[in-house]
Every structure is written in structure tokens, then in C-alpha cells.
Amino acid sequence: MTVDENGADASWRSSALLTDQYELTMLAAALKDGTAHRPCVFEVFARRLPAGRRYGVVAGTSRVLDELRRFRFGPAELAVVERFLDPETVAWLRDYRFTGEIDGYREGELYFPGSPLLTVRATFAEGVILETLILSILNHDSAIASAAARMVSAAAGRPLIEMGSRRTHERAAVASARAAYLAGFATTSNMEAARTYGVPSGGTAAHAFTLLHTGPDGPDEEAAFAAQVAAQGPGTTLLVDTYDITEGVNRAVRAAGPELGGVRIDSGDLGIITRQVRTQLDDLGATRTKIVVSGDLDEYAIGALRAEPIDVYGVGTSLVTGSGAPTAGMVYKLVEVDGLPVAKRSSHKETQGGEKRAVRLARSTGTIVEELLHRPGATPTVPAHLTATPLQIPLVRGGEQVEGLPGLEDARAHLRDALVTLPWEGLGLSNGEPAIPTRLEEKR
């Protein structure tokens, strides 16, 4: 066990304050007026997809369940909330344990507007204070995974490296690496993601290492390459664009020999440059040396480079920032109280009251055509020529995580199979409607 300076278990990290204050003040009011213990149903869904997106990818569910286990109010957390909460509410939080049920789409599943991605059945008190925790994880991870899946499709089978750690928050970087791997990225540069989630890691050197080898007579790029090869072997990847790319490639092959693993290019007109570099490598006998490119790539740039002799893409900024991975726009809404449907009527923010289940309809070829929502206990109407696949699985029962849930590798494989079921236009990078419609069947 790792202990902190106070002798406490440092591996235990409460998630109880990963929330917004208004959730706790709602709790206090509900405890006071006696409504806190009414049985409720909350649902997580996205009203719409980000502009240009035809589908979304569910990611972060496993992280939600991990943080739910840590949602406990210890002395440190209570010291914060007792500044504005009454003693009765503080006492309730001291004993808080989630005892309800959660169902949801499995990680790696596709989602569309209105899909009930997560359903929380609990008392109002137990469920309402989980809103921010659940949304912050699902919105972030699903946005990253959705963007990454588009990049994987654009790469058409060529590997991608996630390298966005330096462009985002240090903890978000770890979650981003996990979500990108789920979506099909091959490796990450982030070591914490390798440790925590087992994501394969990779990396060699940056421009700083090349610049380091500068002496009184000027830069010595070949010495830098020779040092890297001596440390990592000829199979390493050498960064060849610090000075002149053509000379960089010559020096790289001299340093490592024709068995050089790869060269990385991080700047310039990648289409023109990679064609020239491929020819140069082949002429030097390095016919198996791979070309790795990076430098503000997104799915559109990757798609535009599809015909070029590129073997691996490195993606950072556009994956982990809002421009490349806009928020998934998910919301957490109360839809049922004491078995009675409740709904918002606010303009442009309407909700559909009542708990919902979901099945996905597909042709015999496997191509999906519709997401059909229905009420619990009702049998959805499925045309004879279509098949229906239920989408939600049990995640939590009696407050405890269900055993045997799919892991990260399972989610990765599931998404790979799910993308094949999209109509062909669903994989396009152009603007358009969601790949399939979502419809609620009201019969009970």
C-alpha cells in the first residue's frame, strides 16, 4: 500500500467532489421537504451530434463505474461541503452509498441522438448527485473516441499513434489515450495510460535530442542519429526534419543502415515530401523503412494523404482539443418519478419523459437502419425482414458493479465490428444527418 504524508492510503482517491454545488443544494432541499427518497429514473443521452458527425462512440463507461466506487464523503470532503450545507445533509452524505441500478450501452457501441446511453434507477437523492461525475467522463471520453474512430476510418488500415498529452490537462491526457485506443489507435505516447489501462506505448526522440548534438563546429545530426541507434537499435524511428529532410534521410540510413525501422516527418507539405522520401529510401536500399508523419493531423488531413506512401500517422492536438473532439453534448435528465413520466418543455431543450429501452434494427446483411426506443416491458415492433439487437446491458445492481463486464479490448473489438454495420454514407467525413434515425415507439 502506498501512503501519503499523513499515513493514509494514497491509492484511495474520493470522487465525491467531482460534482457541482447545485446538486448538493438540491439534495439538501429534497431532504428537507421529504422528496429525496422518491424512486426516480435518470437517463443520459445526446440531443444531437456535433456538426459534421454521422455517429458517436460510447466511451468512459468503465471509468464511470470506477469513480462510482470512490464516490464517498470522507472527512476531507465533508469539510468542504459543510461550509454551505445543513448538518442533516452533511450527515446523510457521510453515510452515502449508491444502492440503485444502472444499465447502459457497452463501451465501443455506436450511439445516435436520443439514444439512452445510461439509465440510473435510484432515489432522487442517490441519483441526482451523480450527474456531473457521469457527464464529465462520458462527454469527454465519448468525444475523443468519436473523433478517433473517424481518424481510424480515414487512415484505412494504417496505424495511428496517440500523442496529444502535451496539448491537454495531465489527467485528461490519460483518459484521451484510453479512448483513442478503444477507437482503434495502435499506441500512445502517454506512460500513465500504459500503466493504468495497459495501452501499448511507443516513442523515440524529439527535435531536442537532435539539437543537443551541436558543438563548436555546428549541428551534428548524424551523431544524434548514431546515439539513438546505439541506444535503441536500428529498428528505431529517426526524426529527419530538424534541418534538411533530404540530408536527414541520408544521415539516418548511414547511421542505422538499410534496416532502419522508420523516419518521422513533422512538418512541411507531407504529400510531396513523403513521395520524395519514399523514393530516396528505396534508392538507398532502405525499402522496408517506414514513413511516420505527424504535425496537426486530423481526419480530413489523414483522408487527403490516403494515397501517399505513409505507413503511420501520429495525431495529437486535433484529437484531444475541442476543435478536433467537440463535446459529445450529453445530458443527464430526470425522466421518471414514482413510475410517472416527467419531461422538460423548454424550447430547444425538450426531453421525452419516461424510461426507455433501445434496440437496433438491421437488415440481413448486417447494415443497421434504425434505432428503436421502447418502454420497459413492451415488445418493440420489428419488421419481419429486420433483426433487432438490444443495446443496454446491466452495469450496476444493488449498488455493486456487475461482474464480467466487457473490458477495454472487448470494447475495441466491438467498435471495429460495429463500424462495419453503418450504412456506407455513415463513414463519410462530410456533413449530413445521423447515419440512422432514432424513433420512440410509445406502446406499453
Residue 12 forms part of a structural domain: no
Write out the chain's pLDDT in tens, 444 residues. Answer: 344 444 445 456 899 999 999 999 999 999 999 999 999 999 999 999 988 899 999 999 999 999 999 999 999 999 999 999 999 999 999 999 999 999 999 999 999 999 999 999 999 999 999 999 999 999 999 999 999 999 999 999 999 999 999 999 999 999 999 999 999 999 999 999 999 999 999 999 999 999 999 999 999 999 999 999 999 999 999 999 999 999 999 999 999 999 999 999 999 999 999 999 999 999 999 999 999 999 889 999 999 999 999 999 999 999 998 777 778 999 999 999 999 999 888 766 778 899 999 999 999 999 999 999 999 999 999 999 999 999 999 999 999 999 999 999 999 999 999 999 999 999 988 888 999 999 999 865
- We report the CATH number of the domain holding residue 157 as 3.20.20.70
- Examine the domain organization and report whether 296 and 419 are in the same domain: no
- Examine the domain organization and report whether 80 and 190 are in the same domain: no
Instruction: Round to whole Å and give the CA distance between 418 and 421.
Output: 5
Look at residue 195 in the predicted model and tell me its pLDDT. 97
Instruction: Round to whole Å and give the CA distance between 346 and 239.
Output: 55
CA atoms 291, 293, 298, 302: torsion sign:
negative
Kindly write down the DSSP assignment for every residue of 9-62, as one continuous string.
BTT----TTSS-HHHHHHHHHHHHHT-TTSEEEEEEEESSPPTT-S-EE---HH
Beta bridge partners of 360: 371, 389
Look at residue 430 in the predicted model and tell me its pLDDT. 85
Residue 97 forms part of a structural domain: yes
Q: Taking the CA of residue 135 as centre, how many other CA atoms within 13 Å lie in the half-sphere pointing to its CB?
A: 20
- Examine the domain organization and report whether 263 and 400 are in the same domain: no
Q: Are the CB atoms for 105 and 296 separated by under 8 Å?
A: no
Residue 327 forms part of a structural domain: no
Q: Are the CB atoms for 388 and 395 separated by under 8 Å?
A: no
Residue 300 forms part of a structural domain: yes
Number of H helices, E strands in the chain: 15, 21
- We report the CATH number of the domain holding residue 91 as 3.20.140.10
Given 265, 290, 321, which residue is the final one in a domain? 321
CA nearest neighbour of 209 among 192, 194, 187, 230: 230
- Examine the domain organization and report whether 63 and 77 are in the same domain: yes
- Examine the domain organization and report whether 209 and 308 are in the same domain: yes
Q: Give the DSSP H or E segment for 215.
A: strand 214-215
Residue 385 forms part of a structural domain: yes
- Examine the domain organization and report whether 152 and 268 are in the same domain: yes
- Examine the domain organization and report whether 211 and 99 are in the same domain: no
**Segments forming the whole domain that contains residue 304:** 146-321
Instruction: Round to whole Å and give the CA distance between 186 and 181.
Output: 6
Given 290, 321, 352, which residue is the final one in a domain? 321
- Examine the domain organization and report whether 87 and 150 are in the same domain: no
302 SS3 class: helix
Look at residue 442 in the predicted model and tell me its pLDDT. 83
Residue 373 forms part of a structural domain: yes
Residue 28 forms part of a structural domain: yes
Cβ count within 10 A of residue 14: 14
- Examine the domain organization and report whether 64 and 111 are in the same domain: yes
Beta bridge partners of 337: 40, 340
Question: How would you classify the pairing of strands 110-111 and 118-123?
Answer: unpaired
Instruction: Round to whole Å and give the CA distance between 203 and 187.
Output: 9
Cell 523503412, located at residue = 289
pTM: 0.94
Residue 211 forms part of a structural domain: yes
Residue type, 219: P
Look at residue 3 in the predicted model and tell me its pLDDT. 40
- Examine the domain organization and report whether 29 and 99 are in the same domain: yes
Instruction: Round to whole Å and give the CA distance between 43 and 134.
Output: 11
264 SS3 class: strand
Look at residue 326 in the predicted model and tell me its pLDDT. 79
334 SS3 class: strand
Look at residue 444 in the predicted model and tell me its pLDDT. 58
- Length in residues, the chain: 444
- Examine the domain organization and report whether 153 and 276 are in the same domain: yes
- Give the total number of structural domains in the chain: 2
Given 261, 290, 321, which residue is the final one in a domain? 321
- Examine the domain organization and report whether 276 and 372 are in the same domain: no
C-beta contacts of 82-90 below 8 A and 24+ residues apart? 84/21, 84/24, 84/25, 85/24, 85/25, 85/28, 86/28, 86/32, 88/28, 88/31, 88/32, 89/24, 89/27, 89/28, 89/31
Beta bridge partners of 424: none
